[in-house]
Structure 1
Amino acid sequence: MTDSGPDAGVRGARRADAAAVADIQVRAWRHGYRDLLPAAVLDRVTGPDALEAWRERWADAAANPPSPRHRLLVAVASDLVVGFAAHAPAEDADLDPAVAAELITLLVDPLHARAGHGSRLLAATVDLLREDGFTTLVSWAFEKDEVTRAFLGGAGWAPDGTARTLDMGEPVRQIRLHTDITVA
């Protein structure tokens, strides 16, 4: 399926997009994280109760962001939401939130993958962050998530040497990736 024609683009999310964003998140996590997260954790964060909670969170993120520098973007194709990205000032203690931002998430519906939506979301994110005066962009990825690491690596990202271990019933390691966004 290709859906990257002239009617594909990126825009700011609206409250009405929250259900589509949550649905994409659940499908993308079930597809992409099935070998990365413990099954019980994945079931819990993608189950019916979690889906409803995600819908509420994404509706709030679209309608009431904590600041103008917190944004939720959606990729659309033929007026259908097919992916999303969220970014905000970085919260890690070793980063300056005045100039460092975090790509909190970037997910494309597996049904619409490999059509350029992720690249469009990333480019739009970087453009907005540059306008807001950010110079560095970071994101956390599961250490074994080769798809995300390859996608970001292809866009010039690299590990910055920072790692963390999440307790998900078993330890799951994440690494922080970063990129300089001052260069166009």
Structure 2
Amino acid sequence: MADAGVHPATAADLAEIVRIHRETWRLAYSELLPPEVLDALDADDAWALAVRQGAVLKATEGEWTVGFVVASKAPDEEVAMADGSLPADAATTALVSVLVEPRWGRRGHGTRLVAEAGRKLAEGGATRGIAWVPEADKASRNFYERLGWAGDGTVRTLDAGGRPLREVRVTGELSVRLGD
């Protein structure tokens, strides 16, 4: 494998991040989400803000950007329990979302992304991470399980263009052990 790394994303990376997001979701979620939802993924403004706030890291292999992670403090509504109450560690819980293009998968990029994001988040005082994953997305659920993250029993159903999308919340430690 060519040199692999994790780096802060910059404004110059926006087009590639949006492309990876759009193309990967179109491939992975074409049966879960209607076409109009997938077509609306080109939200450059939201990505630009996340990059400016330092919440996006990119994975590279050689000269290619192959994936990214968005990680920052979890908003209260994302970390709240099913009854709406906040756990004791709500202020130190991070929201993490990782995406690696399938053609670059199974090469450690996702784990490296979460490990580096976890290190940075822990430096800022975060104590654990959460992620929302479509219940039907077994590949992503398996990825988080390999990191040691597990479902916490919280589920939500989103209106995805008139089609319900059920998501499960997974949680785990921010310290991720990289393989040898």
Taking structure 2 as the reference length, the TM-score comes to: 0.84
- The 3 A distance-change label for structure 1 pair 183 and 80 is closer
Segments of structure 1 that go 5 or more residues without pairing to the other structure are none
Taking structure 1 as the reference length, the TM-score comes to: 0.82
| Secondary structure of the structure 2 residue equivalent to 1:98 | helix
Which residue in 2 is equivalent to 1:21? 17
Contact 1:36 1:145 in 2 (8 A): no
Indicate yes or no: 2:154 matched with 1:162. Answer: yes
Matches for 1:1-184 after TM superposition, within 5 Å: 4-5=1-2, 7-42=3-38, 44-45=39-40, 50-51=41-42, 54-63=43-52, 65=53, 71-91=55-75, 92=78, 93=80, 94-95=86-87, 96-103=89-96, 105-168=97-160, 169-181=162-174
Give 1:182 shift: 6.1
Give 1:88 shift: 1.2
Task: State the aligned residue count.
Answer: 167
CA RMSD of aligned residues (A): 1.9
Segments of structure 2 that go 5 or more residues without pairing to the other structure are 81-85
| Secondary structure of the structure 2 residue equivalent to 1:153 | helix
Q: How many Å separate the matches in 2 of 1:172 and 1:98?
A: 27
AA matched with 2:130: V
Q: What does the per-residue CA deviation read over 1:47-82, in whole Å, with 9 as the maximum and x for residues that have no partner?
A: xxx42xx3333223212x1xxxx5110001113211
Q: How many Å separate the matches in 1 of 2:90 and 2:13?
A: 28
Contact 2:133 2:167 in 1 (8 A): yes
Contact 1:10 1:74 in 2 (8 A): yes
